[in-house]
Chains A and B, each alone.
Chain A
């Protein structure tokens, strides 16, 4: 019978805490860059100008369709040679997950914008607003409210995806767990604790999402996917 022993994990809990901090750092960076970039992609994709909508559509489809780990490897191993720059694991991860989540956020934005009835933009135009004024003042404020559930769900997905950075040796929670398991020869305890840490953080986040969803349902706004 296996003798569980969590003391080596507890003694090195600082390593896991540092890993969690790095996980949150990558997630935060990718969110901060991915959301505005995603909005830009969505607006370009909705443009009636094909020279803008086609490339934007291609970027969105390509990054939604290919596996994130392949993208990460490309940005970490191929891109630095191609443009002759030094690439740290953090920069590669931040780049990959920013662009990848931008592609997903773009679809969330687009679905939200498209879901607003035509009458809204017609009314805005009737009041003399330009297309961009109508978008900024009338369409987006309403669309963003509808997008919140899909948006937060995506943010949670992003946090789970960031575990991939461990494969390019960025010291996130999973990478630290791997190191600690090798150091202590206690993989069972280390990986179990690590899974529970992820579960705690992500489950707490999804409970918040559910609460938001319920409030949206009460105020009559539906989830847009």
Chain B
């Protein structure tokens, strides 16, 4: 345990860490937006009475929830290019894998949230002359979103953590930059410690905010 900690080399290139942080935030944002909006579609699809919508939506959810996200990313990176006539960049492969995986998980959150509302809400909306789509948009979703909020923020945190998997296809994000710094300076202890602390600093406030949100919502009900 007589290691001389020396963080100089890690801070010597702030650009490397900044580029990594920018990459992490970029892929996080892409996957959050794509994952949640696709998830809403899938969640609504699993609520449909039409079999040709319900069945594919369900198959999608089951498949992407029950395979590891890293396998999905590597499939998009190594296997998909065989089928399509264009190149797949590391960002595309990682974003596809993480977004589709998150869509499957958040689809279940949306479905659960919608299902949790009493039937009388639907009946009330219909009695006022709304179509099903109007009732969903104006009555059901606004109430369901509130109940789903803690689960959705948890998903966002998971997406942030999953973004590190993009380093497996050499996309430039924080962990990938940590690898780079460690291999140039032979300082894996300091490099990976700093990367771990940066992630902790990003995510800890988010996690705490989720706890507060959960408590607030529980009091509100």
Closest CB in chain B relative to A1 CB, distance in Å: 10
A195 touches B196 (CB 8 A): no
Chain B: interface size category: 35 or more
- Bound-state Cα–Cα, A171 to B192, Å: 23
Are the C-beta atoms of B62 and A203 separated by less than 8 Å?
yes
Give the contact stretch, choosing among B45-53, B75-83, B119-127, B135-143: B75-83
* A217 at the B interface (CB under 8 A): no
Q: Give the residues in chain B near A43, CB-CB below 8 Å.
A: none
Q: Is the CB of B195 within 8 A of A70?
A: yes
Contact of B179 among A67, A73, A159 (CB under 8 A): A73
Given A65-B203, A66-B200, A82-B1, A191 and B161 contact (CB-CB distance below 8 Å): no
| A202 at the binding interface (Cβ < 8 Å) | yes
What residues of chain A lie closer than 8 Å to B193, measured between beta carbons?
Answer: 74, 78
- Whether the pair A81, B189 counts as a contact (CB closer than 8 A) is yes
Q: Give the Cβ gap from B30 to chain A, nearest Cβ, in Å.
A: 17
Q: What residues on B are CB-neighbors of A81 within 8 Å? A: 3, 188-189
**Chain A at the B interface: SS class:** helix
How many residues belonging to A are interface residues under a CB distance threshold of 8 Å? Answer: 41
Known contacts A69-B167, A81-B3, A198-B68; is-contact A174 B74 (Cβ 8 Å): yes
A-B contact pairs, 22 of them (CB 8 A): A61-B204, A62-B200, A64-B207, A66-B200, A66-B203, A67-B160, A67-B163, A70-B178, A70-B192, A77-B182, A78-B191, A164-B70, A167-B167, A167-B168, A174-B71, A177-B71, A188-B83, A191-B71, A191-B74, A191-B75, A198-B66, A203-B62
- Which 6 residue pairs across A and B have the least CB separation, nearest first? A77-B188, A187-B78, A67-B161, A160-B68, A188-B82, A163-B68
Q: Give B contacts to A, CB under 8 Å.
A: 1, 3, 62-63, 65-72, 74-75, 78-80, 82-83, 157, 160-165, 167-168, 175, 178-179, 182, 188-189, 191-193, 195-196, 199-200, 203-204, 207
